[in-house]
Amino acid sequence: MKIFKIIILCLLFVAGGLTFTSCGDSSANSTTEEGTETGPEYTSAYVCPMHCDGSGSDAAGTCPVCSMDYVKNEEHSNDGHTH
């Protein structure tokens, strides 16, 4: 019975550790202090609707990560202005 309690305690410890380390990854979304996203998955002419890491292109196509069709990025401009 003592071994059973030790196993349960270890499982709870591991589950708790996984919960706290899997949440709150601040590097997952590239944002600036103003709250705007940066990186090719947000700033390219064509972007993945899911904004997958490593996606984004200057030409229409499909996302290499999730295989969704790229959509035209309405906020993209070639000269760096958004107006």
Mind listing the pLDDT tens digit of every residue in the chain (83 residues)? Answer: 899 999 999 999 988 877 776 655 555 545 555 556 777 778 889 998 888 888 888 999 999 989 899 999 887 655 554 54
The distance between the two most distant Cα atoms of the chain, rounded to a whole number of Å, is 70
Give, for 8, the enclosing helix (H) or strand (E): helix 2-22
Count Cβ neighbours within 10 Å for each residue of 2-30 and write b for 16 or more, e otherwise: eeeeeeeeeeeeeeeeeeeeeeeeeeeee
Q: Show the domain range for 47.
A: 39-76
70 domain residue, yes or no: yes
Residue 49 is assigned to a structural domain of this protein: yes
| 69, 62 contact by CB (below 8 A) | yes
* Total number of domains constituting the chain: 1
